[in-house]
Structure 1
Amino acid sequence: MDPTHCPSSHDWLTNLITGVVIVGLFISYAPQHYRIIASKTSEGLSPLFLLLGSTSSAAGMWNMITMQWGVVKCCPVVGFGRCVELTAGIFQVSVQWFCFTFVFVLYMKFYPERLKYIELDIEAPSHEEVHVVKTPLKSSEWRFSLFCARVTLAHFIFCAISTFYLLATAIPSPSPEVALPVQIQSWATFLGVSSAVLAAIQYAPQLEHTYRHKLVGALSIPMMCIQSPGAVLMILGIALRPGTNWTSWFTFLVAGVMQSSLLIMCIVWKFRQRRLGIDDFGNAVVSGAVEEVQRPEVVVVEEEGLVTDERTPLIGR
């Protein structure tokens, strides 16, 4: 790549916006990551919401890489600092993808054990104790979560292989200012449009899930309070970058509107929970502390091939 063909001007405003957005992304996702880890449960999150969000952000990231590939090729002929400046847009959407996908990883890791397998409650004749038999059969919710995780991984691998194959086999462009080959443009448009469509429907499952349960659950309101208005900076940081078009930023416009709707719903449910005296997971709260519900003595029956329940010691121990 001839250095004279690489962008030489410095857009300090765009660089400032991008820097603020990148730092803001880490800060905004931190409350959600911490909330799941601290509470040791991901209950309240919709796996379909996480699937759509992860695939949408992945498609947006690969769209940005494709659209700015000509700029990326300038890195070997410009200084490190200039390379970082030119590729900051790619780093921005990559951080967005990583932070959201990490929520999915935490969701799988901290999925409640009591919801993973089908349980059978058998009451003893004396009515004094309950035998809980945990079968090796996965619950439908856990099976669906595993399915969503596999689809997310497969989508990422497919997009990565397709993107690098097309970029490697395309006729090299003499300058980043020259239009990309037709097949590259088509692939970038597909990624951008699919990312926008996925983002448009991404919040529908979570909105439905939150509305149906009427609980905030593991959702982080502080995260959404930061990200909803931050979507404006996210859009500007991408739209002002060289080599991008509407397919690169439209995704974040749609996601910002939908996330604002989810934020409003969570705030409404938060007031409802306070009025009813329950916490974000539906547990009764007494004098600022969660009231522990008294349950009858539970004895877990362990049989060959059955999964051990973690709530009480096994019979015979």
Structure 2
Amino acid sequence: MSVCEPHHDAAANALTAFMCVGITVSYLPQHWRIISAKSSEGFSPWFLLLGGMSSASGMLNIIVMQWGIIKCCRVLSFGSCIESIAGIFQLALVWVLFVMILVLYMIYYPPELKYVEVDVDLPNEPPQHIKTPVKREQWKLSITLSWVIFWHIAFLIFITFMLLSTNPAPDWDYRSPQLELWATFLGVSSALLAMFQYTPQIAHTWRIKHVGALSIPMMCIQTPGAILMVLSIALRPGTNWTTWISYAIAGAMQGILLVMCIIFRARQHALGLDDFGQPINPAMSHATSSDAAPPTTPAVEAAVGDAVQSDMRSEHGVDVSAGEDTPLLTGKQHDAGSKGRGLFGWLKR
């Protein structure tokens, strides 16, 4: 028979409630930062991939570790049930809010960085930048990694609940050897992913030498908050080191990224640049506005195919600087490359 007794720990419950509020508040500056800037420049797609996979593994680890407590909700009161599974809600919240960064990253990916551009010299006119339907490598990588995250969480959920459905569970805290092994795998993989999660972001930020869309206020809240996060998880019943180790490692790595961003922001402002590396007071903000619209002459519309081929060569490192005989891209096809820009339009690209 299962023994389901309410577990009351006022200190742990208060800390978990505080952490849930703190987690939500800490992620909001990053979400707002991307939305208000209408740009996600500065993020490494590998950082988002590893972070999404790490947080998903951590969430499923605590579900496995506390599965007996979840099943006890059938006989516990609503309040006792919520109190018992508050730790699960806490880690699920981390995963949802982090994945929201990935969603906003894809929605607000800078349009000028999505497709290859060709410099075209027209007779008696200044050079113009013509976009092509050929995706840049970074944009293609971002789309691919987004799908990897989707299939990763789908696979982990399938394996987790398949094992949970076969767990005999003679007691609320009993786990079969298979479940123990799976929970350890989830916890250790979450820790390893968290350890490597910040490495590509740190390298990317070091390479571009500016903050971009990264939110310093979010990191200022989350870096010291990692200590409380680890403590709040460790105090929950049924958890062990595999459940909280990933958040300890992530907190330390995030501290390194925070220091880098503070240094780069100070450097940029000293040079009169904003967080995206642009002049704070651009003197010629409209100087290139005439380059926005591609030409639509009959000669331009006659040679679309060759332009795309030259852009594909450009993507693989071939110089495609064009002269007056270079075929251009029609405005009609340029519009075709912009279709499906809705909330989930990038999934179709």
TM-score (norm 1): 0.92
2-structure distance, mates of 1:285, 1:141? 27
Asked if structure 1 preserves the Cα contact closer than 8 Å seen for 2:65 and 2:238, the reply is: yes
2-structure distance, mates of 1:77, 1:296? 67
Q: CA deviation at 1:307?
A: 2.1
Asked if structure 1 preserves the Cα contact closer than 8 Å seen for 2:40 and 2:105, the reply is: yes
2-structure distance, mates of 1:210, 1:120? 27
Fraction of identical pairs, as percent = 49
Matched position secondary structure for 2:238 = coil
Matched position secondary structure for 2:190 = helix
Matched position secondary structure for 1:292 = coil
Equivalence for 1:190: 185
Cα 1:270/1:118, change in 2 over 3 Å: same
2-structure distance, mates of 1:195, 1:293? 47
Asked if structure 1 preserves the Cα contact closer than 8 Å seen for 2:230 and 2:248, the reply is: yes
Whether 1:240 aligns to 2:267 is no
Q: CA deviation at 1:175?
A: 2.1
The structure 1 residue matched to 2:171, chosen from 168, 175, 178, is 175
Q: CA deviation at 1:293?
A: 6.4
Whether 1:295 aligns to 2:288 is yes
TM-score (norm 2): 0.83
Equivalence for 2:99: 101
Unaligned runs of 5+ in 1: 311-317
Q: What does 1:1-317 correspond to in 2, within 5 Å?
A: 2=2, 5-126=3-124, 128-171=125-168, 173-178=169-174, 180-286=175-281, 292=285, 294-295=287-288, 297-298=290-291, 299-301=293-295, 302-303=329-330, 306-308=333-335
Q: Residue deviations 1:40-88, cap 9 Å, x none?
A: 1101111110000000000000011011001100001000000000000
Q: Residue deviations 1:122-155, cap 9 Å, x none?
A: 02132x3333322211110100000110100010
1-structure distance, mates of 2:245, 2:119? 50
Task: After superposing the two structures, state which structure 1 stretch, 5-14 or 260-269, moved more.
Answer: 5-14
Unaligned runs of 5+ in 2: 296-328, 339-349
Cα 1:60/1:296, change in 2 over 3 Å: closer
2-structure distance, mates of 1:205, 1:66? 30
Asked if structure 2 preserves the Cα contact closer than 8 Å seen for 1:279 and 1:290, the reply is: no
2-structure distance, mates of 1:252, 1:290? 45
Q: CA deviation at 1:304?
A: 7.6
Matched position secondary structure for 1:76 = coil
2-structure distance, mates of 1:66, 1:292? 55
The letter of the residue matching 1:176 is W
Q: Residue deviations 1:74-108, cap 9 Å, x none?
A: 00100000000000010000000000010000000
Matched position secondary structure for 1:199 = helix
Asked if structure 2 preserves the Cα contact closer than 8 Å seen for 1:41 and 1:110, the reply is: yes
1-structure distance, mates of 2:258, 2:92? 24
Asked if structure 1 preserves the Cα contact closer than 8 Å seen for 2:211 and 2:264, the reply is: yes
Whichever structure has more strand as a proportion of its residues is 1
1-structure distance, mates of 2:106, 2:61? 27
The letter of the residue matching 2:171 is S
2-structure distance, mates of 1:64, 1:92? 10
Report how many residues are paired: 303
Q: Residue deviations 1:5-64, cap 9 Å, x none?
A: 124341111101100110001100000000101111101111110000000000000011
Task: After superposing the two structures, state which structure 1 stretch, 290-299 or 160-169, moved more.
Answer: 290-299
2-structure distance, mates of 1:277, 1:152? 38
Q: CA deviation at 1:169?
A: 1.5
Equivalence for 2:306: none
Matched position secondary structure for 1:137 = strand
